[in-house]
Structure formats: C-alpha cells, structure tokens
Amino acid sequence: MHGNIPSPFATEALACFQATEMGLRVGFFKQIEVLLVRTMIDGIFSLWAKRLEIEGF
C-alpha cells in the first residue's frame, strides 16, 4: 500500500479511478457511453409517452 493512501479501501478506490480514467483516455468506454446515452434517451421518451397518455394527448 502507498504511504499517502490511508486504507485498503482507499487504495482500491484509487486503483479503480485510475483504471477508469485510463480507459476513457484511450477510448475503451466509447461503446458503453453510446449504449448508456441510448438507454437514457429511450427512458426519457418512455416517460414522456406515459405522461402524454395520462394527460390524454
């Protein structure tokens, strides 16, 4: 464990953060980002459709 990191949990959190940051820099997560955005958009449209249906449009 590094002397500047206070606990094993913090060490693991820092390692995960650094791995994620590196993945974003090299473009590893591009496909995941696209999937998440599409899922969010689908969810938003679903909510709008339900609301319009409830309001009688």
Per-residue pLDDT tens for 27-44? Answer: 776 767 777 777 877 888
In a domain, 2, yes or no: no
Report the domain count for the chain. 1
| Mean pLDDT, all residues of the chain | 74
Q: Which residues contact 31 (CB under 8 A, 6 or more apart)?
A: none
What does the DSSP assignment read for 1-57? Answer: --TT--SHHHHHHHHHHHHHHHHHHHTTTHHHHHHHHHHHHHHHHHHHHHHHHHHT-
Residue 18 binned pLDDT confidence (cut-offs 50, 70, 90): confident
The answer as to whether 3 is a domain residue is no
**Is 25 part of a structural domain of the chain?**
yes
* Residues found in the chain: 57
In a domain, 22, yes or no: yes
The answer to whether position 15 is within a domain reads yes
